[in-house]
Amino acid sequence: MRLPVFIAKRYLISKKSFNIINIISVISLAGVVVGTMALIVILSVFNGFEDLVGSLYSKFDPSIRISPKEGKVFDPSLIPSEKIRKLQGLVSYSEVLEGNVLLRYHGEQYIATLKGESTDFLNHNPLQSNIVDGSFRFERDGMEALLMGYFIAYKLDVSMNDAGTQIQVFSPKRFAKNYADLRSSFVQGGILPGGIFSIQQDIDAKYVVSSLRFARKIFQYDTEVSAIEIRLDSLADMDLLQARIEQMLPANTFVVKNHYQQQEVLYKVMRTEKWFLFFILIFILVIAIFNLVSSLTMMILDKIKDLSLLFGMGMSIGEIRKIFISAAMMIVFAGEIIGLSLGTLLCYLQQEFGLVRLGGEVNAFLVPYYPVQFHWSDFVLSILSVSLIGFLAGLIPVMRLKDRFLQEQILKNIRGH
């Protein structure tokens, strides 16, 4: 194998009879470089967006959520809460009662989803860092207080300085039959605006959060809850704890979802987009790398006398083919190394200095610059994909080399002399 590789290396760096071979070889190398670099950069940007979205939802969604398999509410005494609370890595255990409500404030109205949370919700919750106005608590001036998304607060024109005006919360009575009369068919409760959080529009435009006590009053439940929300610390093994919690619960009664499963559709869409773009880039890369076919074909024609001589000296047709396959892979490997290096450098500079911005104004988006995140699996996938395409592209012209063709070239050379 060493001889074919040595000859291939000499053929690549030696002067060709036709200068166009050098040009096409450089174009082939450039195609591999640009394609590999594009793969790494695009995949890293998609990883960055996926991690960004995950970090945003993790500030509102719990690490693990337990909900009933059937029905809207359940008795929390069915959950072995004491055993779950003792699990290592657990930060908070919150009982939740959730439902839709109508909010009214100074004549403005808005339909939102109210989440009533037990007080454990306030312990070590990352949502606290996203409070843009007010405070992160369920009490204000000795009265019930409401946490709300920024978009909802904007629509209601809520002012945190207006301490005397309550937000009116309406919810249909559980057993009402006629909803035409608000007084007889709806439960009404007043609550002060306590804090405004800003995460991202889907959450900011949907949720308000109150104490569990207030939610039970509005939804007319005594002890029932809609779900149990569990938060874990960053070092905890979420999948392992999820499996252990599932084993503690009554069979076929509850659904236990981790952070990713709660937003399963969103993550599936993002991953589908990532792989769709990956295959588009691979298709473009196939077109670019297939310049190797032209380059190797012309190299074979340029070195045909040498090849017939090597064949006549006893080198097998398989070893001769290995010369040009080795030449093709040398071009591919060189392009991969350069492309990976440039792609990594661009991603690093984007991480450190934010070379490419998302919009014209820095504050127009949640992050001002395109996020980038390296995954080693993307590097491995890119190397394997480019290497396979390069190998197949190099194989096409090489397989045309036949014993009979080289024998004819030997006869031509003999007749020529």
Cβ atoms of 81 and 230 closer than 8 Å? no
- The one-letter amino acid code at 219 reads F
Dump pLDDT digits (tens) for 179-220: 566 667 889 999 999 999 999 889 999 999 999 999 999 999
pTM of the model: 0.78
Q: Give the residue, 34 or 318, on which the prediction is more confident.
A: 34
DSSP H or E run through 201: helix 201-204
Q: Which residue has the tokens 């994909």?
A: 385
Q: Is 289 exposed, middle or buried (0-12, 13-18, 19+ CB in 10 A)?
A: buried
Cβ atoms of 324 and 331 closer than 8 Å? no
Q: In this predicted structure, which of 102-106, 127-131, 285-289 has the lowest mean pLDDT?
A: 285-289
pLDDT of residue 182: 60
pLDDT of residue 364: 47
Give the gyration radius of the chain's Cα atoms.
33
For 220, the token pair is 């007319």
- The pLDDT-based confidence of 388 (bands split at 50, 70, 90) is very high
DSSP label at residue 165 = P
pLDDT of residue 319: 83
Q: Is the pLDDT of residue 358 over 70?
A: yes
Q: Is the pLDDT of residue 17 over 60?
A: no
CA distances from 100 to 112, 169, 207 (A): 6, 10, 9
pLDDT of residue 149: 96
Dump pLDDT digits (tens) for 44-96: 999 998 888 888 898 899 999 999 999 999 999 999 999 999 999 999 999 99
pLDDT of residue 362: 45
Dump pLDDT digits (tens) for 292-329: 888 888 887 777 777 777 777 777 777 888 888 888 89
CA distances from 223 to 96, 215, 262, 272 (A): 11, 11, 25, 42
Q: For the chain, what is the mean pLDDT? A: 87
- The pLDDT-based confidence of 413 (bands split at 50, 70, 90) is low
Among residues 167, 61, 165, 199, the alpha carbon closest in space to that of 117 is found at 61
CA angle 101, 102, 108 (to 5 degrees): 155
- The pLDDT-based confidence of 409 (bands split at 50, 70, 90) is low
